[in-house]
Amino acid sequence: MDIAKELLEGSRLALSRAITAIENEYPEANDIMKELYPHTGHAYVLGITGPPGAGKSTLTDKIARAYRKAGKTVGIIAVDPTSPFTGGAILGDRIRMNELTLDEGVFIRSMGTRGSLGGLSHKTADAVKAMDAFGKDIIIVETVGVGQSEVDIVKAADTTMVILIPGMGDDIQAIKAGILEIGDLFVINKSDLDGADKLVREINMMLDLDAGSMMQARTATEEAIANQFHHLNVTKHEEAAPGYWRPPVHKVVAMQNEGIEELIGLAKKHHAFIEENGELHRRRTRRARDEMLDILNARINAHIKGHIVDNGRLDGYVKSFQNHETDPYTVVADLLKEMLK
């Protein structure tokens, strides 16, 4: 099966096999990605994160349906934690999305974190690319908002929604530092429960504190620019695209499909905003940079492993250090010469 070719021709099985190759780091994954890469860059990537049980999957289902109603095709990547003890996982996000299964315009894939350090964001990014090349208009990535690797995943999104629910109590204090940074939209789900308005107020307060400092910083920079370039009259463009996005806080009841259209509206607004002010371009540039370095690092590590670890040379060196015959610095310098020639 020529996976890349068939994927580009619209085979869902090929898309599925491509993601497996990416996940399992099969050697052919590289060739597949090479062929798919020129066909990527069209999809809009939406990250959805938040604590377990916040209703991320329920919300993903409703958002996907709203986009389908608007005629968009949707890809969904739902990431759930792998048990660090057994290496196994129960991936249950599809339970909330069963009605999407038979819609040919939707493709859902569940992934376990598989305890890979850093490699996870690389793999989900490639899975996003595979769905992008397949032709999905909107790609939603759902991850549990705990741990660095999950945060890395949503950083790869164009727009990131942070889902919170009433009654989280002190938890919100613990996570606020991390979430303030990554959220473009804050969604208060389960607004049918008590405490939703209180939570909205809390988040708004935190965001205003944050916004205050951001605005100050911007004003100082603006002043400096204006002072230097006032003869060019640069302020006009600044008005059209103010540089700071104040994340809105929006209440929904995902289970009842309440507030979803408005939420999609906010996502669209954010998309237009970052497109206009150049942030989308900056995010994608940063992502391309990180990705390139990731791939290079991974390849170099694999090379080192093949060159000195797997064949036992490393053990030999270690023995000679212990016998004081040589030292790691000398050996590494020699090895680099050997490997980089």
Ligand X SMILES: Nc1nc2c(ncn2[C@@H]2O[C@H](COP(=O)(O)OP(=O)(O)O)[C@@H](O)[C@H]2O)c(=O)[nH]1
Listed ranges 24-32, 93-101, 174-182, 189-197: which one lies at the site for Mg ion (CB under 5 A)? 93-101
Residue 178: CB minimum distance to ligand X, A: 17
Using the rule CB under 8 A, give the single segment among 78-86, 211-219, 262-270, 330-338 that binds other proteins: 78-86
Q: What residues make contact with ligand X under the rule CB under 6 A?
A: 50, 52-58, 93, 96, 189-190, 192-193, 253-255
Cβ–Cβ under 8 Å, residues 108 and 101? yes
- Check residue 189 for interaction with Mg ion (CB under 5 A): no
Residue list 268-327, contact with other proteins (CB under 8 A): none
Binding partner at 192 among ligand X, other proteins, Mg ion, none, C-beta below 5 to 8 Å by kind: ligand X
Should residue 255 be labelled a site residue for other proteins when binding is judged by CB under 8 A?
A: no
**Binders of Mg ion among 17-76, rule CB under 5 A?**
56-57
DSSP 308: I
For the bound state, the minimum distance from the C-beta of residue 118 to other proteins, rounded and expressed in Å, comes to 14
Shorter beta-carbon distance to ligand X: residue 261 or 325? 261
Measured distance CA(103)–CA(84) in Å, rounded: 34
- Interface with other proteins: number of residues (CB under 8 A): 32
By beta-carbon proximity to other proteins, the closer residue of 110 and 204 is 110
Question: β-strands 106-112, 74-80: how paired?
Answer: parallel
Tokens of 321: 């250090």
Long-range pairs of 329-336 with CB within 8 A, sequence gap ≥ 24: 335/307, 335/308
Told to check if 121 binds Mg ion by CB under 5 A, we report no
Closer by beta carbon to other proteins, 5 or else 289: 5
Name the residue nearer to ligand X (CB basis): 33 or 254: 254
Closest contact distance (angstroms) between CB of 109 and other proteins is 6
Residue 153: phi, psi to the nearest 5?
Answer: -65, -50
Identity of the residue, 73 or 191, whose beta carbon is nearer to ligand X in the bound complex: 191
Pattern of binders to other proteins over 12-51, x per CB under 8 A? xx--xx-xx--xxxxx------------------------
Cα 107 from Cα 227, distance rounded (Å): 52
**93 vs 158 by CB, closer to Mg ion:** 93
Residue 44 forms beta bridges with which residues? 138
Burial (CB count <10 Å: 0-12, 13-18, 19+), residue 174: exposed
Contact status: 93 vs Mg ion (CB under 5 A): yes
Determine how β-strand 138-144 pairs with β-strand 159-164.
unpaired
On whether the CB atoms of residues 18 and 4 are closer than 8 A, the answer is yes
Residue 179 token pair:
């979430």
- Compare residues 94 and 218 and give the one whose CB is closer to Mg ion: 94
| Residue reference for tokens 């999950």 | 150
Binding map of other proteins across residues 81-100, x = CB under 8 A, - = no contact: -xx--xxxxxxx-xx--x--
Element (H, E) at 74: strand 74-80
The least distance separating other proteins from the CB of residue 41, rounded to whole angstroms, comes to 23
Taking the C-alpha atoms of residue 59 and residue 96, their distance in angstroms, rounded to an integer, is: 9
How would you list the strands of the sheet with 249-251, edge to edge? Answer: 106-112, 74-80, 138-144, 44-50, 159-164, 185-188, 249-251
Q: How far is the CB of 127 from ligand X (least distance, A)?
A: 18
Q: In whole angstroms, give the CA distance from residue 42 to residue 58.
A: 26
Kind and range of the H or E run holding 112: strand 106-112
Of 129 and 190, the one with the shorter C-beta distance to ligand X is: 190
Instruction: Give phi and psi for 77, each to the nearest 5.
Output: -120, 115
For the chain, the residue count is 341
20 binds, among Mg ion, ligand X, other proteins, none (CB under 5 to 8 A by kind): other proteins
Contacts with Mg ion, residue ranges (CB under 5 A): 56-57, 93
Contacts with other proteins, residue ranges (CB under 8 A): 12-13, 16-17, 19-20, 23-27, 82-83, 86-92, 94-95, 98, 101-102, 107-110, 112, 114, 116
